[in-house]
Structure 1
Amino acid sequence: MFSTGVEGNLSHFETHGREIDYALIEWFDASKHVLRLPTQAGREIGIRKPEGAALRDGDVLYHDENLVIAVRIRRCSVLRVRLHDPVQAARLGYELGNRHLPISITKDVLEVPFDEPTEQHLVKLGFLPERAECIFRGHMPSHHHHE
């Protein structure tokens, strides 16, 4: 099977009476332009999507009257830092920015994929990172350079 992009998301998709099969991916594969994925039921689906478009958990890659194939992003270990004020958020952004790490930011939480050196660095700087398992919603840095 071949897909040229996302046809919706399971959260807003009619699946009644259809088999739902999942293509499992890692968070860092979500932003790839071309993927060839096995599904849990043993099917294979290829996807070519627009450059810069990232897959989200539950995105539908294929559907017909009997079948829906959707993306399932695997959970991974992250470091989570709760943000208490704008100064702390700016300082954390500054400290992590030069490391070129993928990040996910919401109003009061910053997450990065877990690695021990980053955890130790954050603790040394006085932050209190928590380890968690979740679907990482960040992305890989791209087109970054210093001039």
Structure 2
Amino acid sequence: MLTLTRLKPPDVNAVVNFTLPLTAEERTRSRHRFKLEDGKEIFLRLPRGTVLHNGDILADDNQINFIRIVAKPEPVLTVIAHTPLLLLRAAYHLGNRHVPMEITPNYLRLSPDSVLHTMLEKLGLKIKEEVVPFQPELGAYGNNHSHS
């Protein structure tokens, strides 16, 4: 089994042996066994608290094998508002519930939740159910994205 221990910055020109599609939750696992599409197993042994991002490159200790992380499309709710203030209000209410959220100037994105869906609709927001890559914020106390 291939053990990956090093995190490299994204490099579109890097030669990789494999790609590993992971959901947002899977990209927070620093020690975990995954199966590649061809059935080969790999083990992540990264520093605790490492959060992977789309495009990151992982390598083994010998830096012979390289794997590119790909943000795997997953079910999400995309929240759109008619005004910036309404989007800010939604972010406030979701943040108050410690909901992992992707924040952009034009939309918020979160994992599907029927209670939150109803709350957001009552606030007057438009919600789209989608299957897309999801990159939630790390939060104020989250690990900074560092590379070895």
Q: Report the TM range for the smaller structure's normalisation.
A: 0.7 to 0.9
CA RMSD of the aligned region, Å? 2.6
Residue ranges of structure 2 left out of the alignment (5+ in a row): 143-148
TM-score of the superposed pair, with normalisation by structure 1? 0.77
| Counterpart-to-counterpart distance in 1, 2:140 and 2:6 | 21
Task: Give how far 1:95 is off.
Answer: 1.6
**1:44 to 2:41 alignment:** yes
Superimposed CA distance per residue, residues 20-41 of structure 1 (whole angstroms, 9 cap, x where no aligned partner): 3223322102122212211112
| Counterpart-to-counterpart distance in 2, 1:7 and 1:140 | 19
Query: What secondary structure, in the 3-state scheme, does the structure 1 residue paired with 2:126 have?
Result: coil
Among 56, 59, 64, which residue is 2:56 paired with? Answer: 59
Residue ranges of structure 1 left out of the alignment (5+ in a row): none
Question: CA separation of 1:119/1:93 partners in 2, compared to 1, >3 Å: closer, same or farther?
Answer: same
Among 62, 65, 68, which residue is 2:66 paired with? Answer: 68
TM-score of the superposed pair, with normalisation by structure 2? 0.76
| Counterpart-to-counterpart distance in 2, 1:40 and 1:142 | 35
Question: CA separation of 1:141/1:47 partners in 2, compared to 1, >3 Å: closer, same or farther?
Answer: same
| Counterpart-to-counterpart distance in 2, 1:90 and 1:48 | 38
| Counterpart-to-counterpart distance in 2, 1:107 and 1:59 | 24
Instruction: Name 2:145's counterpart in structure 1.
Output: none
Question: Which stretch has the larger CA shift, 101-110 or 79-88?
Answer: 79-88
| Counterpart-to-counterpart distance in 1, 2:82 and 2:45 | 40
Query: What secondary structure, in the 3-state scheme, does the structure 2 residue paired with 1:123 have?
Result: helix
Corresponding letter in the other structure for 2:125: F
The alignment covers a number of residue pairs equal to: 138
**1:8 to 2:22 alignment:** no
